[in-house]
Amino acid sequence: MPSPVGHALGGLIVGLLTRARLTDKPYPQYLPHQTHLTICAVAACLPDIDFLWGRHNMETHSLGFAVLVGLAAYAWQRSPRLGLACTLACASHVLFDWLGSDTTPPLGVVALWPLSNEFYFADVPVFQAISRRYWLPNFVTHNLLAVAREIAILLPIVAVVWWLRNPSRRVG
């Protein structure tokens, strides 16, 4: 399962895709661009709040929870754009955990909760599992390499999306 760094980068990608263009005239339902991006990064990390009550990869790692997060964001700001962005950012967490290797049973995520309590797990992991076994000799090395891999995969996507959505890149 990816680290908070990988999840935040996923939220940043969603935030860049869903924010108002820098050339759009802001009106009340648009948050400042940096705020929108920050909220999306936080929403993408939010499912891991379940560590607090010991039900990791359960209900908060689902599309149902992503919809609830989006509805809460919409209720908070009355912005359909922010509600959709938070839903997609939270759903990116579910996708990334599904695409990650998992070493702690039950394997996978309850992606379709509340419709199903079945665990889903990709057979070909893209992201390495982040170890929580700090007593192992390779704990730091393994986690640093896993985070480096996430950055190597996701940062180019962030850069391309930013470049495509940034009006100042246009010449002439």
Q: How is the chain split into domains, by residue range?
A: 4-169
The average confidence (pLDDT) of the chain is 90
Contacts of 166 (CB under 8 A, 6+ apart): 22
Predicted pLDDT of residue 168? 67
| Residues 85 and 15: beta-carbon distance below 8 Å | yes
**Can you read off the two tokens belonging to residue 171?**
């010449």
What's the average model confidence in pLDDT over 5-34? Answer: 80
pLDDT band of 134, cuts 50, 70, 90: confident
Q: Write the CA distances from 114 to 19, 61, 69, 73, 158, integer angstroms.
A: 29, 11, 14, 20, 31
Write out pLDDT tens, residues 84-116: 999 999 999 999 999 998 877 888 999 999 999
HSE-CB of 2 using CA atoms within 13 angstroms:
30
Amino acid identity for residue 85 in this structure: A
Is the per-residue pLDDT at 81 higher than 70? Answer: yes
pLDDT at 31 over 90: no
Is residue 28 over pLDDT 70?
no
Reported as a pLDDT band with limits 50, 70 and 90, residue 131 is confident
Check residue 169 and give its pLDDT.
Answer: 60
